[in-house]
Structure 1
Amino acid sequence: MNIVSKELFQQMVRIRREIHMHPELGYQEENTAGIITEELKRLGIKSTTGIGKTGVVAQINDEGPVVALRADMDALAIQEETGLEFASRTDGVMHACGHDGHVAMLLGAASLLKENLKFGSVLLVFQPAEEGGGGAQKIIESGLLDEAKAIFACHLDRHYKAGKLVVQPGPISAFTDRFDISIRGKGGHAAQPHDAIDAIVVASLIVMSLQTIVSREVNPMYPSIVSVGRIEGGSVPNAIAETAKLTGTIRTTETHIRKQIVSGIKRIANAAGILHNAEVSVEIIEGYPCVINTVEESEIARTAVKNIIGEKALVDGQSASMGGEDFSYYLEKIPGCLVRLGAQKEGLEGIPAHSSTFDFDENALGIGAAFLAETARLTIDRLSQ
């Protein structure tokens, strides 16, 4: 799919593979930032480095309406098992979510805009620490986006083939809250359970009861998830555990459902403690907000897709992803749109993101670069009217 020139496509592939070979965790993306700044320098684009420690923000032109484009930079603590010739050379760290591709696409868009943008200003935001570190907040706190009137980003998505994009207004990702439940009973010998209060029994009751919040309390029209991901308790087989701990995640797309589920978790945990005469405490750790695309910016993004590929490229995502994205922090301050960009690789259709064998179709790079550049151009045109 010849969306960009062969030379630009090859440059994006080279950058993507270089970053892939040298992945870095959140707030450690020193080498990645160096690759970015070198390419921006080659393009004649000035940049500001060290934003939130490792972030980079560059600007094309300094007059007219300001539009921001964002790419995340960080990798994951996963041992790569792809067998690719450009596989990670860093033990225990890999790009398993496509952020290497996001950086390459934004640099490709920078090349297109540097050559073609005649009016307006575009901020190129290379953000650290999306994977749990909330790097978007560091970029916002820098003040460099204060003049931005809109912001856009792409996220590679293995559910769709290259050449397909999901652009929709409203919620497209979930709140990503965490819960920790601590249980204290009374330890004792396993042969005399009547003299003890078994924290593992209490924990087991809570785990099973939590499943009824989504299945029996939440309106099924609202996507929601309550999952216990970790259980700790006990140390030896012949002793009753005095303490236990449950850790899990809550995923919702509506504020009132979020509150309902948090209330339900606390009620169920406390009731189990009363039932078994154990001490139970619940801590809720708020995660990323829900990404809510604004209507006007979503329409601009759809127009951009039609302009570069055609309307047939637009597909209906139907419902929000239950994953999280700190792009949500930008959208609390600036209108914008996060787009899902098809990048399914043949033979890897069933391999999800955050997998040790994750990879994507590099043909998506040209599409993403062209989309970001066209979206910026259209937004500037609209803001200028």
Structure 2
Amino acid sequence: MFVCSNEVKDELLQIFHQLHQNPEISWEEKETTKFLKELVEKHGCRVSTFENSTGLIAEIGNGKPVIAIRADIDALWQEVNGKFQANHSCGHDAHMTIAIGVLFLLKNTELNGTVRFIFQPAEEKGQGALSMVEKQVVDDVDYLFGVHLRPFQEVPNGYCSPMIIHGACRFINGKIMGDDLHGARPHLGANAIEIGATLDQMLKTIHIDPLVPSSVKLTKFQAGGESSNIIPGHAEFSLDMRAQTNEAMEKMQAKIDLMIDALERFYEVKIPYKISSNVPAAVANADATNCMKKAIIQVLGIDNYVPPIQTTGGDDFHYYTIKRPGLKATMLGLGCDLKPGLHHPNMTFDHKAMFTGAEIIATAVVMTMNS
């Protein structure tokens, strides 16, 4: 079993604060990539970067099996105390720090295989994992481990789960394309705001299997200008879709397609739309989950073990196994007193949990290599 020394803890906290104070949004993580590259090279890793993308790959050890650890590196763009800015409110700064902690714990260990650290960009866009798959970074990987901080409502502080059963999530961006009208002549065309209100009500009539959690909601609607006597014919909108299974997501999409088609015909307007981001639901792997379970019990004891947890959130981590079905993967759910919640602009968590996360994943890596 691995234990972070006080020296390692101090260095990890310094790394975390550096990452936390310098967030970068998806596909723009240039300084984050540079910082990580210099850091892992200093600690003896073989490093690969990409000409057309941020992110990097770092390795220690040699031969098979190849066990990879994925850490997402991007931040959100959100309003924080009245100002829009990049912000690490989803815990990616902690995930990077935990991966570095695993490196610190394993770098002087005799390894029976290769450990690959995947510092992945653009998780918040739902595109980063796909880009890593396309770059073939997991083609020779046997096991893939990830980690995500969990809100206090899901996993208590000091407890851990060997798998996060994420749901599928999908974002749609669309436009309502009609002509503006004089406020005194509403009969001459369609009011984009009324179309948006109708769409909002129609979405509430979508019913999927009640045993499968799902939701769809209008999250952006912009129409109208400075003149109060103009009925807007044009608008832009966004939809947020969630479903616990990939099958339920496709059923929901089919209903939305029918609804938008009906709105176009009824109001005689064009409503072009596209899927801007699509993240699949988790696909469980018993071998990887069992490896993580054993590591949790060895580090924390059986009393602090939590069975796999189901959550309506999504993560592009699951693209790795969707695109490479032979890959054995799971994501550690790390209890850390995270509150008020993920993506809250002022999210906080117990920083000591990062040391626990590093110890569990390092233990899982060695146990898997020696099994």
TM-score (norm 2): 0.89
* Separation of aligned partners in 2, 1:52 and 1:373: 31
Whether 2:223 is the aligned partner of 1:223: answer no
Alignment of 1:296 with 2:316, yes or no, is no
Q: 1:51 to 1:63 in 2, by over 3 A?
A: farther
Structure 1 spans left out of the alignment, 5+ residues = 83-89
Q: Is the 8 A contact 1:117 1:377 kept in 2?
A: no
Residues 244-298 of structure 1, C-alpha deviations (whole Å, 9 max, x = no match): 3332111123232122111111222232343444444443445122232312111
Residue identity opposite 1:173 in structure 2: H
Aligned mate of 1:153, from 127, 132, 146: 146
Tell me the residue number matched to 2:135: 142
**49 and 177 in structure 1: CA distance in 2 versus 1, 3 angstrom threshold:** same
Distance of 1:72 and 1:194 partners within structure 2: 52
The alpha-carbon deviation at position 191 of structure 1 amounts to: 2.1
| Structure 2 alignment gaps of length 5 or more | none
2:364 maps to which residue? 375
The whole-number CA distance in structure 2 between the counterparts of 1:94 and 1:199 is 33
- Relative to structure 1, the CA distance from residue 45 to residue 271 in structure 2 (aligned partners, 3 Å threshold; closer, same or farther) is closer
Structure 1 residues 183 and 100 mapped into 2: Cα distance closer, same or farther (>3 Å)? closer
Distance apart, 1:80 and its partner CA: 4.6
2-side partners of 1:179 and 1:371: how far apart?
Answer: 37
Which of 172, 179, 185 lines up with 2:172 in the alignment? 179
1:342 aligns with 2:331: no
CA contact (8 A) 2:126 2:277 kept: no
The percentage of aligned residue pairs carrying the same residue is 26
Shift, 1:114, TM fit: 1.4
CA RMSD in angstroms comes to 2.5
Specify the code of the residue in structure 2 equivalent to 1:68: A
Q: Partners of 2:284 and 2:296 in 1: how far apart?
A: 16
What is aligned with 1:267?
258
Give the distance between the partners of 2:193 and 2:110, measured in 1 at CA. Answer: 63
Q: Aligned partners of 1:283, 1:53: CA distance in 2, in Å?
A: 24
Number of equivalenced pairs: 364
Letter in 1 for 2:57: V
Q: Could you tell me which residue of structure 2 aligns to residue 121 of structure 1?
A: 114
Correspondence 1:253 to 2:249? no
Structure 2 residue identity aligned to 1:355: H
The C-alpha deviation readout for 1:311-351, integer Å capped at 9, x for no partner, is 122224552x2222111121221220012111215xxx3x2
Greater CA drift, 16-25 or 47-56: 47-56
In the alignment, what sits opposite 1:162? 157
Is the 2:168–2:280 contact (alpha carbons within 8 Å) kept by the matching residues of 1?
A: yes
| Secondary structure of the corresponding residue to residue 332 of structure 2 | strand
1:52/1:138 contact within 8 Å kept: no
For the residues of structure 2 that align with 1:187 and 1:161, how far apart are their CA atoms? 53
Deviates more, 1:116-125 or 1:280-289: 280-289
Q: Counterpart amino acid of 1:270?
A: D
Q: Which residue of the partner structure matches residue 230 of structure 2?
A: 239
8 Å CA contact 1:196, 1:240 repeated in 2 = no
- Give, as a single letter, the amino acid of the residue that structure 2 aligns with 1:299: N
Q: Secondary structure at the match of 2:313?
A: coil
1:355 aligns with 2:344: yes
Closer, same or farther in 2 for the Cα pair 1:42/1:262, shift >3 Å? same
Give the 3 Å change call, closer, same or farther, for CA 73–284 of structure 1 in structure 2.
closer
1:163-190 CA-to-partner distances (Å, cap 9, x unmatched) read 211223xx72222222234334554322
CA separation in 2, counterparts of 1:27 and 1:272? 35
**CA distance in 1 between partners of 2:121 and 2:309 (Å):** 30
| CA separation of 1:259 and 1:50: change in aligned 2, threshold 3 A | closer
Q: Structure 1 residues 51 and 106 mapped into 2: Cα distance closer, same or farther (>3 Å)? A: farther
Alignment of 1:45-56 (within 5 A): 45-50=45-50, 53-56=53-56
User: What whole-Å deviation, never above 9, does each CA across 1:123-169 have from its counterpart, x for those lacking one?
Assistant: 1111122111622223223333322111001111232343211223x
